Amino acid sequence: MGVTGHAEALVDLLGLVQPRRHSEILWSMTPDEVERQVETLDLINTELSASHDRQFDALDKIDAKVVVIVGYVAAAGVLLATRHAQPVLEGLAYLAFLVALGFGVRAYAIRNYKDIDPVALVLKYSPVTRAQTPAALAAKRARNFSYNQKLHKAKADNWTRCLIALLTGTVLMVAAILVQTYDHDHARESARTARSQVAGPARCHAAGPGPNSTQLH
């Protein structure tokens, strides 16, 4: 592959905001100038590779957090189902849990990350020189990193919404249980008081006049 073919391949791979400017630079480079950039390109590739590793690690951590939150959502739903709760607040709590579950599934489903295809790498860049290969790899990794960064942001945003919905549902669940417990205790206390008020005069009437009372003839 000559310098011209190499320039066209790099312009195609870079796909950056100023393709004409990159094209002009690459077309003006001689083979010796390309070869002199080997160390620089290796350094760039090393840094890009490390950035990719950190990016994929961050994506995996978000997935782990999503799994934990979805587990909490399921446990909270089961707990709420086994408790007597105020109906309106209970319904709102279930709605919040469903929203959290939806955002959790959506965050976990974002997985179409871009990476370098090993087969394409071998087929396309085996014939090129030592300097041309890292140049193309650097361009490809830069584009993939930019694409994956958008996925990372979308995944993180969905995880944040999932967490907020879970916290909201938890607060509503606790409130529903406490309100129902208070209403139940209050109703039971009111019933006990009412029974006491009814039973008091009845006991006095059943006792009748005392032994020291005098009867009038």
Nearest to 165 by CA among 78, 90, 95: 95
Q: Yes or no: say if 35 and 127 are a contact pair by the CB < 8 Å rule.
A: no
pLDDT (0 to 100) of residue 24: 43
Which residues does the chain have with pLDDT short of 50?
A: 1-27, 215-217
Q: Report how far Cα 40 is from the mean position of its chain's Cα atoms.
A: 38
Residue 52, classed as helix, strand or coil, is helix
pTM: 0.64
Largest CA distance in the chain: 141
d(CA 134, CA 130): 7
What contacts 35, CB < 8 A, 6 or more positions away? 129, 130, 131
Helical axes 38-81 vs 132-207, angle rounded to 10°: 10
Q: What percentage of the chain carries pLDDT values higher than 70?
A: 65
Amino acid at 15: G
Give the per-residue pLDDT at 110. Answer: 83
The pLDDT value given to residue 47: 83
Looking at residue 161, its pLDDT comes to: 94
Q: Where are the domains of the chain?
A: 37-199
At 54-67, the pLDDT tens digits run: 888 888 888 898 99
